[in-house]
Amino acid sequence: MADVVIIGAGPAGIFAAQELAKGLDKLDIVIVEQGKDIIERSRSGRDMLVGWGGAGAYSDGKLTISTDVGGQLSSLLNEGELLELLDEVDRIYTSHESSGGLYSVEPDDAARISAKAKLAGLIYVPTKVRHIGTENCYTILKNMREELRSKVKVIFNTRAKDILKQDGRVTGVSLEDGTVIEARAVIAAPGRVGSSWMSGQAKRLGLQTRPNPVDLGVRVELPAVVMEDLTEKAYETKFIYYSKTFDDRVRTFCMNPYGEVVRESMGDILTVNGHSWARTRTENTNFAILVSADFTEPFDDPIGYGESVARLANMLGKGVIVQRLGDLHAGRRTNPSRLLRCLTQPTLHDATPGDLSYCLPYRILNDIMEMLSSLDEVAPGVNSAHTLLYGIEVKFYSNRIKLDRGLETEIEGLYVIGDGAGITRGLIQASCSGIIAARSVLRRLE
């Protein structure tokens, strides 16, 4: 029997394990991870998202030190508590490797950007961001693996099947190979790739939930010079827009100055993402524009909706589609010859030139094009014919589960954390959630 079973070895699960390992002496901690150990992972296919480090291993390591973005922990903790925890997680990451650049916006610059944004119908969200870089993020998570090697048992290449309970309290986890691990506490940290599984478990266990939106959109790529006036002042420039036609919430996400666009494999679905290295630059900047699709009754499967749109894009493009914005405006697909003449040369070389209007719902596409027009008023050149759009980018979140301040569910001893549990939306708050749950477990087991 284990003291604690952690499902998932992404940032949330790793930080939970670290906190547990330095708590009570000789605590028996088991991590169940569907992917490989970090040294066995590759930068392709399923390995991009699963394995030790989760999606964080090949992310560009942005730590957004702000209570305004990155998740919903602020609904459970007060601002002071959350800021203290964000700073603690930042210190832990930077203690393992080169700290990377810490970027914050000077007040005068923030005021100027905010004023221009308002005139364009945008809301500017100034944030303090540490950019660790993809290569350093991998190294940090590899170092954490070595630190925990003698303290935590990790079962790789194994899927959790079900979370087990009896008489209102958790009793353990069953695995797909038939093994049952009994435990005094279970921390579910399945990651975004496990969001559908987590939603199914919540339903099976009778947990109270409410739907989270699915974030659906495109990855935008353009010459870095177009965004330099913003990115030199604020590495991660975040804008929110409410569309004129539908009043939908649209936002920029994960801006990567001098970065590259990459593919992600989510089971049988190929999606798109972006990152940037600490020491290597391209000539382009990329960022996502995401529309929050928030559904009402009777529909209750936002994850399935997002998956269906991504599958349609894959069917049309045999993977990721890339389209020049000028071709989208002209109502035609991008073909290889037009792409070759584009001033923005794609960093994702195997994307298929195509037509995103065949796979993105009209409402989503209209929202994106409206926001591009508004962004052009803040950074002229964004709405250029030579801007590239890649699709589909989608962020899945489990239905949000009812939790207490320690991230414990209504089932005694069961905790859910991280992006896949619907409570966080990024590296730093996912890591924070692991610490919160681990401290709650330690108090229970003392």
Segment 240-256, tens digit of pLDDT: 999 999 999 999 999 99
Question: Residue 295: pLDDT above 80?
Answer: yes
Residues 347-390 pLDDT 10s: 999 999 999 999 999 999 999 999 999 999 999 999 999 999 99
In percent, the amount of the chain with pLDDT more than 70 equals: 99
CA distance 233 to 382: 17
CA distance 377 to 397: 32
258 by DSSP, 3-state: which?
Answer: coil
Residues 90-108 pLDDT 10s: 999 988 766 667 878 899 9
Choice between 425 and 170, residue whose per-residue pLDDT is larger: 170
User: Do residues 28 and 70 lie in contact, with contact meaning Cβ atoms separated by under 8 Å?
Assistant: no
Q: Which two tokens stand for residue 213?
A: 């939106």
List CB contacts of 251: < 8 A, sequence separation 6 or more: 238, 239, 240, 241, 289, 290, 292
Closest by Cα among 185, 178, 252 to 215: 252
pLDDT given at position 297: 76
> Mean per-residue pLDDT for 46-52?
88
To which residue do tokens 């950019």 refer? 131
> Mean per-residue pLDDT for 268-277?
91
Question: Residue 269: pLDDT above 80?
Answer: yes
In percent, the amount of the chain with pLDDT more than 90 equals: 74
Q: Which two tokens stand for residue 225?
A: 């010079």
Q: Which two tokens stand for residue 100?
A: 């990377």
What confidence tier does 262 reach under pLDDT thresholds 50, 70, 90? very high
CA distance 425 to 253: 11
pLDDT given at position 97: 66
Mean pLDDT for the chain overall: 93
CA distance 318 to 316: 6
307 by DSSP, 3-state: which?
Answer: helix
Identify the bridge partners of residue 217 per DSSP, sorted by sequence position: 290, 393
pLDDT given at position 98: 61
CA distance 392 to 316: 11
Q: What is the largest CA-CA distance in the chain?
A: 67
pLDDT given at position 226: 98
> Mean per-residue pLDDT for 321-346?
97
Closest by Cα among 347, 2, 49, 316 to 187: 2
Residues 149-184 pLDDT 10s: 999 999 999 999 999 999 999 999 999 999 999 999
> Mean per-residue pLDDT for 211-236?
93
- Angstrom distances, CA of residue 34 to CA of 6, 82, 165, 216: 12, 30, 22, 26
Domains and CATH numbers, the chain: 2-97+132-210+399-445 (3.50.50.60), 214-395 (no CATH)
User: Do residues 422 and 195 lie in contact, with contact meaning Cβ atoms separated by under 8 Å?
Assistant: yes
CA distance 331 to 307: 25
CA distance 204 to 301: 15
Question: Residue 24: pLDDT above 80?
Answer: no
* Torsion on CA atoms 402, 404, 408, 413, rounded to nearest 10: -120
Choice between 420 and 286, residue whose per-residue pLDDT is larger: 286
- Residues in the chain, total: 446
What confidence tier does 46 reach under pLDDT thresholds 50, 70, 90? confident
Question: Residue 203: pLDDT above 80?
Answer: yes
CA distance 246 to 69: 23
What confidence tier does 234 reach under pLDDT thresholds 50, 70, 90? confident
List of long-range contacts for 43-48, beta carbons under 8 Å, 24+ apart: 43/262, 44/265, 45/265, 46/265, 46/267, 48/262, 48/263, 48/264, 48/265
> Mean per-residue pLDDT for 58-82?
88
Question: Residue 127: pLDDT above 90?
Answer: no
To which residue do tokens 């998932």 refer? 8
Question: Residue 50: pLDDT above 90?
Answer: yes
Distance of CA 272 to the CA centre of its chain: 12
Q: If 0-12 CB within 10 Å is exposed, 13-18 middle and 19+ buried, where does residue 95 land?
A: exposed
What confidence tier does 147 reach under pLDDT thresholds 50, 70, 90? very high
User: Do residues 405 and 78 lie in contact, with contact meaning Cβ atoms separated by under 8 Å?
Assistant: no
Q: Are strands 180-188 and 169-175 parallel, antiparallel or unpaired?
A: antiparallel
pLDDT given at position 420: 78
CA distance 205 to 208: 9
What confidence tier does 56 reach under pLDDT thresholds 50, 70, 90? confident
What confidence tier does 421 reach under pLDDT thresholds 50, 70, 90? confident
Closest by Cα among 43, 427, 52, 34 to 267: 34
